[in-house]
Chains A and B, each alone.
Chain A
Amino acid sequence: MNNPYVIETQELTKRFKQFEAVRSVSLRIFGGQITGFLGRNGAGKTTTIKMLLGITHPTSGSGTVLGHRIDIPKESVEMRKHVAYVGEDKQLYPYMTVEELIRFTKSFYTDWRPDLERQLLKRYELPPGRKIKSLSKGMRTKLALLVALARRPALLILDEPSEGLDPVSVEDLLQSLVRTASEGTAVFFSSHQIEEVERIADRISMIDQGKLVMDFSLDQFRMNYRRVILGFASQPPTAGSELFRMAGIDHVRADGRQITILSSHNAEAILEQARHCHAVSVDVQPITLREVFLEKVGADN
């Protein structure tokens, strides 16, 4: 496949009557990586994922998943043969037993791997004869993961997979995701838990109020993202200043005579320009993902 992206959207938009849940999102998710889809509750993560899977129809825009167009039902069915999905609620048919749900799910896939199924059943310690309605949320998540992973999908999409899980189950889950990615499956998972995203993701796409606000690799982030704090003796430069038009400035916050810049790269040149603008103090600090998230999301609100 020439296309390096497993997911690609252009201006994807979803409107529910007056409310715009997703606004012109253009996503590019690489294959062979773990991508965290970070955003607050109600940011538009679930709606975006549902549009990718054909569960919800886009109001406008387009997209492909594994090269299949998401807005053409036939292509969407073809795509879903190679995509596994674990939804936010992890609700599975309560009247089925674990064994019945596995049997039901595997009937739709030609690439089902019984050896992997047995292995995962053992690893997750799922009781085959137990009704799903009597499973805990952690057990249900494991079962949802089992039916998603027992066939080595090309792409695994998870919506808030750790929601409602205890710390041990979260750890199990994260390890499963890392293991899955190491075996060649691209993983795209939404979360508002910054720490878990930071721990396992290779790339991060950040969404807020339906808009994609950031998209970067974590390595690139650690190497290049900096917080630049500038102090001025008198009135700081205004919005039209040369300083704020420099490459690498991702976000600017003014607080009296102090200006805080979030730079994605080019921090040294920004500092140089700041000195030209008569900054009396300059401070460059490394920044955590949590701080970037709060800076972007908090400020945009």
Chain B
Amino acid sequence: MLWYKAWRESRTRFLFSVLAIAGLCAGLVLYNKDARAAFADKQLSYAEYIWRIVYHGGVRDIFVLSAVVLGLGGLLREREQKTAGFALALPISRWQWIVSRAAVGFAEVAVLSSLPALVLPAVSSFVHQTYPLSQALQFGLLWLVCGVLFFALGFFLSVVLAGEYVAGIVSLVSLVLYSLLVELPGMEKFLPDLYDVMSGAGMPYFRPQISSLSGPLPLALLATILLTAGAFVAITSSICARQDF
């Protein structure tokens, strides 16, 4: 039932995110002619259009935002809402609370990351276009791994920062600061640009000429990102275990 509770508390945010990502993907495909015409480069191929607007554009940003927002909540928020006493008096360890929320969140991020793969190839056929499922699945994997880290960031901040909206605001500010930081010259040696990892832009596994992923995905980098997300969750759990509610 812990899973049920975690789901109940996040489902509105999750469903809004599903609607936004799936709706945008479908809409951008269905109205691709009008949308492509708006680009300065009129010769934009369909694959490039999808890449620019979904995987390297606004839909990706909405996904990142959704992943962070899904991470918010937890026992500190329950303290604000005065339900933490009830929750913590149940015969459940704090570790179990953390794990259930993290697991449900990861599952939700997985669903969100797979939405373009579910929507783009299917809806493209309605407008007599094709978008390869294999491409969509590979981008989906990149989104999933990076999304898990963004989720873990929101998850961590919501245990560190009290207040109904504080963690949310700080998460958004962190995202903006991160975006600025990774743009600094030479920074790529120390900090991967997760936005580019997700889209492949400037990465050796991406061919800009055809706006497609080619070559092996950076498994070592993806594993490092997952480990970092796991470390965030572990630190979150350790902080939560010591907190007073």
Instruction: Give min CB distance, B113 to chain A, whole Å.
Output: 26
Answer yes or no: B169 CB below 8 A from chain A CBs: no
> Are B242 and A74 in contact, CB atoms less than 8 angstroms apart?
no
| Given known A50-B85, A91-B82, A93-B83, contact A77–B8 (CB-CB < 8 A) | no
> Are A108 and B83 in contact, CB atoms less than 8 angstroms apart?
no
| Given known A50-B245, A73-B241, contact A144–B86 (CB-CB < 8 A) | yes
Q: Give chain B residues whose Cβ lies under 8 Å from the Cβ of A80.
A: 89-91
Interface size on B, residues (CB 8 A): 22
Which residues of chain B from 40 to 87 have a CB within 8 Å of any chain A CB? 81-86
> Are A81 and B91 in contact, CB atoms less than 8 angstroms apart?
yes
In the complex, A81→B82 CA distance in Å?
A: 22
In the complex, A57→B242 CA distance in Å?
A: 8
Which residues of chain B from 72 to 130 have a CB within 8 Å of any chain A CB? 81-86, 88-94
> Are B90 and A96 in contact, CB atoms less than 8 angstroms apart?
no
Contact of A56 among B83, B241, B244 (CB under 8 A): B244
Instruction: Give min CB distance, B14 to chain A, whole Å.
Output: 14
In the complex, A80→B81 CA distance in Å?
A: 22
Answer yes or no: B207 CB below 8 A from chain A CBs: no
> Are B94 and A53 in contact, CB atoms less than 8 angstroms apart?
no
In the complex, A236→B115 CA distance in Å?
A: 88
> Are B88 and A53 in contact, CB atoms less than 8 angstroms apart?
yes
> Are B83 and A54 in contact, CB atoms less than 8 angstroms apart?
no
| Given known A91-B82, A107-B1, contact A56–B92 (CB-CB < 8 A) | no
Q: Give chain A residues whose Cβ lies under 8 Å from the Cβ of B244.
A: 50, 55-57
Which residues of chain B from 230 to 245 have a CB within 8 Å of any chain A CB? 241-242, 244-245
Answer yes or no: B178 CB below 8 A from chain A CBs: no
> Are A56 and B82 in contact, CB atoms less than 8 angstroms apart?
no
> Are B92 and A54 in contact, CB atoms less than 8 angstroms apart?
no
Instruction: Give min CB distance, A109 to chain B, whole Å.
Output: 7
A interface: dominant SS: loop
In the complex, A163→B242 CA distance in Å?
A: 30
In the complex, A50→B81 CA distance in Å?
A: 17
The residue of chain A having its C-beta at the shortest distance from the C-beta of B4 within the complex is A104
In the complex, A247→B230 CA distance in Å?
A: 63
Per-residue contact bits, chain A 103-127, to B (CB 8 Å; 1 contact, 0 not) = 1110111000000000000000000
Q: Give chain A residues whose Cβ lies under 8 Å from the Cβ of B33.
A: none
In the complex, A144→B4 CA distance in Å?
A: 20
Answer yes or no: A87 CB below 8 A from chain B CBs: yes
Answer yes or no: A216 CB below 8 A from chain B CBs: no
Per-residue contact bits, chain A 68-82, to B (CB 8 Å; 1 contact, 0 not) = 000001100110110
Contact of B91 among A77, A88, A92, A103 (CB under 8 A): A77
Per-residue contact bits, chain A 247-262, to B (CB 8 Å; 1 contact, 0 not) = 0000000000000000
Answer yes or no: B13 CB below 8 A from chain A CBs: no
Contact of A108 among B8, B9, B90 (CB under 8 A): B90
In the complex, A104→B90 CA distance in Å?
A: 11
Instruction: Give min CB distance, B87 to chain A, whole Å.
Output: 9
In the complex, A81→B93 CA distance in Å?
A: 11
> Are A87 and B92 in contact, CB atoms less than 8 angstroms apart?
no
The residue of chain A having its C-beta at the shortest distance from the C-beta of B95 within the complex is A73
> Are B91 and A53 in contact, CB atoms less than 8 angstroms apart?
no
Q: Give chain B residues whose Cβ lies under 8 Å from the Cβ of A221.
A: none
Q: Give chain A residues whose Cβ lies under 8 Å from the Cβ of B94.
A: 73
The residue of chain B having its C-beta at the shortest distance from the C-beta of A106 within the complex is B1
In the complex, A92→B86 CA distance in Å?
A: 7
> Are A104 and B5 in contact, CB atoms less than 8 angstroms apart?
yes
Contact of A87 among B5, B9, B89 (CB under 8 A): B89
Instruction: Give min CB distance, B12 to chain A, whole Å.
Output: 9
| Given known A93-B5, A95-B8, A104-B4, contact A87–B90 (CB-CB < 8 A) | no
> Are A85 and B1 in contact, CB atoms less than 8 angstroms apart?
no
Instruction: Give min CB distance, A86 to chain B, whole Å.
Output: 9
Answer yes or no: A83 CB below 8 A from chain B CBs: yes
In the complex, A301→B22 CA distance in Å?
A: 64
Q: Give chain A residues whose Cβ lies under 8 Å from the Cβ of B90.
A: 80, 105, 108
> Are B89 and A85 in contact, CB atoms less than 8 angstroms apart?
yes
| Given known A55-B245, A56-B245, A104-B5, contact A89–B91 (CB-CB < 8 A) | no
In the complex, 5 of the A-B residue pairs with CB atoms within 8 angstroms, ordered by the A residue number, are A84-B89, A85-B86, A87-B89, A89-B82, A108-B90
16 more contacts with CB within 8 A, not counting A53-B88, A57-B244, are A50-B85, A55-B88, A55-B244, A56-B244, A73-B241, A77-B93, A78-B91, A87-B82, A91-B82, A92-B86, A93-B8, A94-B81, A95-B8, A104-B1, A104-B4, A108-B1
Chain A residues close to B by CB (< 8 Å): 50, 53-57, 73-74, 77-78, 80-81, 83-85, 87-89, 91-96, 103-105, 107-109, 144, 159
**5 tightest A-B CB contacts, nearest first:** A87-B85, A85-B89, A107-B1, A91-B82, A80-B91
Chain B residues close to A by CB (< 8 Å): 1, 4-5, 8-9, 81-86, 88-94, 241-242, 244-245
